[in-house]
């Protein structure tokens, strides 16, 4: 165990507060991160909390923001690194993007890879997984052994509705209300507290949209015979009578960059990974999360003064021909942002 010095008088013991798994939960959860400052000699490790030389946080932005606190109650983490305070604003830059996985049966070779359903109330998109697998996948292990295709759908409009009447062009198709139950996706699944029935209703809405939208030369690709079962992202859950989302997605909004922290923090042995960290990738994706993790590892290598080669960080490759457009865009940003 190496004690990491924050400054000459203080040490970080960064004890992680951990709530151990209950019978319902599969995993233990970190509920906070304490900085204990004081003369190193007096640092006492708290019993039953893991202590380590380095700490790397890879929880999502809204969880990390909870550890940092807000204007009403900043945690010692925020006091140790002012930049972390911006997370309380950054966590507002998230949006519900979760969806439903459909397990299908029958002849479905005409399904395409990525599809965007522009005329659906819940802003639906889908990925037919089979298009991207280069090795045979054991589909027979799913359903009753008769599954032939897996279609992942994403709802990008869970909440927004618009009231449009007559011939007015509605900014959201069908006013953001499903065509079967005439409610937003969130209201459909909440179903006045009956979550189990609400899930069935949401699946029915999506299945209706898929059947209606997927066709080749006017021939529908799906009918009810193709449906085996569907699975709603478990991050969409009910707690205290309300439907919540434990995994919203960070979306890039204007001025979001300045709110994002770097992988290195002011705290000598505390690093951040995760898709919200400043990276060349600059987008909440698996690439962004991987790059942030590499940056955090490089921070640890540098702090330890190790001779190991740092992880390679790749610059984002940009199409040269778009450079003039990017320049014009940057001018607009400077003038109007």
In the complex with ligand FAD, which residue's Cβ is closer, 237 or 323? 237
Which string of x and - marks every residue 6-35 that binds ligand FAD (by CB under 6 A)? -----------------------xx-----
Residue ranges in 274-313 that form contacts with ligand FAD under rule CB under 6 A: 274-275, 284-287, 289
Rounded CA gap, 63 and 70, in Å? 12
Residue ranges in 140-159 that form contacts with ligand FAD under rule CB under 6 A: 154
**C-alpha R_g of the chain:** 24
User: Which range binds ligand FAD by CB under 6 A, 40-48, 55-63, 72-80, 115-123?
Assistant: 55-63
User: Which range binds ligand FAD by CB under 6 A, 59-67, 74-82, 219-227, 255-263?
Assistant: 59-67
For residue 272, state whether it binds ligand FAD (rule: CB under 6 A).
no
For residue 249, state whether it binds ligand FAD (rule: CB under 6 A).
yes
Burial per residue of 25-60, b for 16 or more beta-carbon CB atoms within 10 angstroms, e otherwise: eeeeeeeebbbbeeeeeeeeeeeeeeeeebbbbbbb
Cβ neighbours of residue 277 under 8 Å, at least 6 residues apart? 260, 261, 262, 263, 288, 292, 295, 296
- Using CB under 6 A, count the residues that bind ligand FAD: 19
**Residue appearing with tokens 């010692």:** 76
Rounded CA gap, 229 and 23, in Å? 27
**Residue appearing with tokens 């006492």:** 44
In the complex with ligand FAD, which residue's Cβ is closer, 59 or 162? 59
For residue 78, state whether it binds ligand FAD (rule: CB under 6 A).
no
**Of 12, 14, 63, 124, which lies in the binding site for ligand FAD, with binding defined by CB under 6 A?**
63
Query: In whole angstroms, how close is the CB of 43 to ligand FAD at the nearest point?
Result: 24
Q: C-alpha distances in angstroms, 305 versus 26, 57, 136, 267, 308?
A: 37, 21, 45, 16, 9
Enter the tokens of residue 163: 């009231």
Q: Residues interacting with ligand FAD, by CB under 6 A?
A: 29-30, 58-60, 63, 97-99, 154, 247, 249, 274-275, 284-287, 289
């Amino acid at each position: 165990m190496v004690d990491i010095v924050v400054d000459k008088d203080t040490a970080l013991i960064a004890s992680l507060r951990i709530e151990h798994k209950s019978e319902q939960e599969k995993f233990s959860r970190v509920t906070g991160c304490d900085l204990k400052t004081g003369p190193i000699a007096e640092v006492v490790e708290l019993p039953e909390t893991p202590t380590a030389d380095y700490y790397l946080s890879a929880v999502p932005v809204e969880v990390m923001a909870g550890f940092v606190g807000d204007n009403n109650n900043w945690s010692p983490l925020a006091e140790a690194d002012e930049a972390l305070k911006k997370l309380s604003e950054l966590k507002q830059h998230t949006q519900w993007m979760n969806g439903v996985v459909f397990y299908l049966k029958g002849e479905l070779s005409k399904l395409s890879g990525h599809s965007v359903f522009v005329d659906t109330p819940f802003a639906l998109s889908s990925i037919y997984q089979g298009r991207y697998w280069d090795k045979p996948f054991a589909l027979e292990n799913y359903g009753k052994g008769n599954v032939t295709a897996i279609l992942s759908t994403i709802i990008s409009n869970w909440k927004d509705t618009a009231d449009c009447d007559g011939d007015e062009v509605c900014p959201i198709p069908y006013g953001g209300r499903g065509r079967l139950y005439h409610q937003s996706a969130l209201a459909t699944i909440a179903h006045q507290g009956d979550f189990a029935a609400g899930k069935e209703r949401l699946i029915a809405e999506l299945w209706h949209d898929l059947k209606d939208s997927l066709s080749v030369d006017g021939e529908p690709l799906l009918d009810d015979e193709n449906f085996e079962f569907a699975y709603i992202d478990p991050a969409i859950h009910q707690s205290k009578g309300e439907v919540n989302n434990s995994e919203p997605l960070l979306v890039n909004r204007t001025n979001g960059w300045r709110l994002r922290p770097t992988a290195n923090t002011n705290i000598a042995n505390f690093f951040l990974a995760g898709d919200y960290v400043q990276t060349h990738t600059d987008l909440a994706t698996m690439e962004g999360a991987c790059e942030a993790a590499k940056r955090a590892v490089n921070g640890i290598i540098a702090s330890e003064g190790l001779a190991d080669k740092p992880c390679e960080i790749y610059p984002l490759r940009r199409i040269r021909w778009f450079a003039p457009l990017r320049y014009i865009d940057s001018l607009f940003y400077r003038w109007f942002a």
